[in-house]
């Protein structure tokens, strides 16, 4: 499940995960509803996963996740996030991406990774 969720967010996979029983509770957790339960995946891809929207959990079972790999984002000229259809500067792990060897295939692959 951890790999599938990280890949769905554009990362290559997970580095580690744990629940509140393994970590310190964050005060902010109670400000959020619990939206998924019983997340189980057959592979590292999100389309192989199933989950329940109704839950029988409390925030002591919240998942903490650290993803690894390349993270891509687009920003506008003011440093704000640029969504689909907006011309933006490509960032990878908070740094810019050089155009050496970059082509239409590179652009398509990265756009697909970003969703």
pLDDT (mean) for 38-53: 89
pTM of the model: 0.56
What is the three-class DSSP state of 97?
coil
Instruction: Assess contact for 10 and 110: CB atoms under 8 A.
Output: no
91: nearest Cα among 112, 109, 76, 108: 76
The least confident of 33-37, 55-59, 66-70 is 66-70
115: nearest Cα among 77, 66, 71, 63: 71
């Amino acid at each position: 499940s951890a790999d599938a969720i990280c890949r769905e967010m554009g990362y290559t996979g997970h580095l580690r995960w744990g629940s509140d029983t393994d970590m310190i509770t964050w005060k902010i957790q109670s400000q959020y509803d619990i939206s998924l339960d019983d997340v189980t995946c057959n592979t590292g891809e999100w389309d192989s996963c199933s989950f329940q929207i109704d839950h029988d959990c409390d925030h002591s079972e919240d998942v903490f996740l650290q993803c690894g790999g390349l993270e891509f984002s687009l920003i506008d000229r003011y440093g704000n996030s640029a969504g689909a259809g907006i011309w933006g500067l490509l960032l990878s792990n908070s740094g810019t991406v050089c155009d050496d060897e970059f082509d239409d295939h590179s652009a398509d692959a990265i756009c697909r990774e970003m969703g």
